[in-house]
């Protein structure tokens, strides 16, 4: 069970979302702003798990259409696109992980 976000945590995420969406006019623009910040600031590669299997996340990509953020996961020499919300995160989060949290917080507002 995930811990409930504190007011301080929420304020930090709100500030990141504001930074990413400052010049945006609609939900589509905001989505691209938050996704772009995640793509640019989360340092890949990093380890994670998908359905209990160890993978290496080598890139983050926005979807070609619609909302969403995919992790390109390398497993046994092949790359697979997995929705970012399907990852099991390691205890030591990758550098820039706060942008994943901001993305998830922004999605929760839709």
Q: Please list the residues that pair with 59 across neighbouring strands.
A: 72
pLDDT of residue 5: 66
pLDDT in tens, 79-102: 999 999 999 999 999 999 999 999
**Average pLDDT value for residue range 68-86:** 96
Question: Which three-class secondary structure state does DSSP give residue 71?
Answer: strand
Whole-angstrom Cα distance, residue 85 to residue 79?
17
pLDDT in tens, 4-46: 668 888 899 999 999 999 999 999 999 999 999 999 999 999 9
pLDDT of residue 86: 96
């Amino acid at each position: 069970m995930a811990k409930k976000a504190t007011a301080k945590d929420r304020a930090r995420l709100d500030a990141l979302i504001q930074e990413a969406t400052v010049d945006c006019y609609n939900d589509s623009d905001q989505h691209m702003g938050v996704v772009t910040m995640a793509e640019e600031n989360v340092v890949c590669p990093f380890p994670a798990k998908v359905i209990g299997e160890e993978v290496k996340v080598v890139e983050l990509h926005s979807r070609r259409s619609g909302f969403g953020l995919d992790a390109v996961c390398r497993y046994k020499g092949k790359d697979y696109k997995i929705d970012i919300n399907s990852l099991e995160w390691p205890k030591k989060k990758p550098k820039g992980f706060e942008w994943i949290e901001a993305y998830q917080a922004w999605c929760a507002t839709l």
